[in-house]
Amino acid sequence: MPEVIRPVNQTDALVIPAEGGARVLASGPHEMCGVVGIYGHPEASNLAYLGLYALQHRGQESAGIVSTDGEHLRRVREMGHVNDIFTADRLAHLPGYAAIGHVRYSTAGDSTEKNAQPIAVDYAGGSVAVGHNGNLVNAVELREKLEADGSIFSTTSDTEVIVHLIARSKQTSLPDRVADALTQVRGAYSLVFLSEGIVMGVRDPMGFRPLVLGKIEKPSGTTWVISSESCAFELIGADFVRDVEPGEMVVIDEKGPRSLRPFDPRPARRCIFEWVYFARPDSTIDGRSVYRARERMGRRLALEHAVEADVVIPVPDSGVAAAIGYARQSGIPYDQGLMRSHYMGRTFIEPSQQIRHFGVKLKLSPVREVLAGKRVVVVDDSIVRGTTSRKIVGMIRAAGAREVHMRISSPPTVGPCRYGIDTPTKEELIASHNTVVQIRDFVEADSLGYLSLPGLFESVEGTGEATEAAKAGGKTFCDACFSGNYPIDPEPPGRLRQLRLINA
């Protein structure tokens, strides 16, 4: 049965169930997630479920939905995949005209049900639920201050910091409380909120994480939809309206959506890795098709790193569009030399490195008829630690390939993401302390070529020439993982530590 969140008015304190056991807070848990919000539909939770199903690639550890009938918030959240959690019976117990949903994955040691979202709480102004995609770089500092003032936390998620700031705000309306809370945080966030009467979507002032607005027009009325990606709209029959702009708050109630701009404007720094890897190929982010951007990455890669070969193959699924582009530009035939089992999750986002190593062989298998005796170009989106790439090269060679030339449709990953993607530490990133030649030798390829950073900017912008973004060094994008230039400073070194909270 779902939890029922009932409003209380006796105190400004949050009502959050306490949970036993030890818990660890790293310097803001790095997580990539997906969020969805629905307003104005009699089966809002069903639409939220379908939206989360379309966003499953953004998080495969836990999922949750909170709905409202105008009086109470009801919540179901668990570990696991969307279609395993939300049976027809459970969705029937999430009634109401509005709902928000969330899918999540996290770092190792932080994969527990208590950190599943949306977080739903009572406070003096009623009830509120929140789902968060991103990462707050000052979460530890804020948490310490809140705890010093008497706040009690029940999760290790940085999202709970936002909830406490909302509850402590002196503002009256929920949009004003949210704006007041978010002016105190630094970092990346695309957020959905739900109260008894409204759904809200908020994107941080630099626009790190995507957020889009859609609608479903019916004779009975209009349903409004907020989602991390536009790919969710196709499944639920919604039309794309527009991107939520950096620094924008969209408030949806019975009068429809209205736009607020409560934050000081800042230069946009959209995460370029969304186009490289994370977003689904059929999504459009800030007016740029993810699929076409990846195809152009492959074309540019073929120009920058040409090689004589017999076949171009992708590492499925994230390397497919770039491999098609490479083959079209080079004139080398494209084929499927590796088959992927879709019963396995994405190895990049598995929280345990042991699972990641084991998963490579379960996930991919070579097609000997395509590879035997051939000079093979294998295209992938990135090399992180290098261990997976080494296994893939070895797998292709074992299938009889004469040569293996690895091509990567992004620059070398030299720094961890501080803004919401679960990349390893700098020490674990092979490109942070090795040259391209050294990486080539480690993965045991005959040659290795990375897409240049200007080539990546031009591919995403979509012109194939020196665009304004490329001329300015890509300053409309965040490229910190490739350049080491962080647009928002991470926590000071003294704050990068763990908080251990143990119940006696």
| Residues 306, 330: Cα–Cα separation, whole Å | 7
Of 127, 187, 137, 188, nearest to 163 (Cα)? 127
| Residues 313, 322: Cα–Cα separation, whole Å | 10
Write out the E strands in 356-402.
364-366, 375-380
User: Of these residues, 33, 271, 478, 481, which one is catalytic?
Assistant: 33
| Residues 203, 255: Cα–Cα separation, whole Å | 21
H or E element, residue 136: strand 126-136
Centre a 10 Å sphere on the Cβ of residue 459 and count the other Cβ atoms it contains: 31
Of 290, 248, 320, 309, nearest to 462 (Cα)? 290
**Pair of tokens at residue 390:** 């080494």
**Pair of tokens at residue 68:** 């409202």
33 a catalytic residue = yes
| Residues 484, 142: Cα–Cα separation, whole Å | 25
DSSP state of 474: S
Centre a 10 Å sphere on the Cβ of residue 182 and count the other Cβ atoms it contains: 22
Q: What are the respective helix, strand and coil percentages of the chain, to the nearest 5?
A: 30, 25, 40
| Residues 123, 11: Cα–Cα separation, whole Å | 7
Of 275, 273, 250, nearest to 261 (Cα)? 250
Peptide bond into 317 cis (omega under 30): yes
Of 231, 213, 5, nearest to 129 (Cα)? 5
| Residues 305, 283: Cα–Cα separation, whole Å | 28
| Residues 372, 401: Cα–Cα separation, whole Å | 5
SS3 243: strand
**Pair of tokens at residue 367:** 């097609």
Centre a 10 Å sphere on the Cβ of residue 193 and count the other Cβ atoms it contains: 28
| Residues 359, 310: Cα–Cα separation, whole Å | 29
Could you list the active site residues? Answer: 33
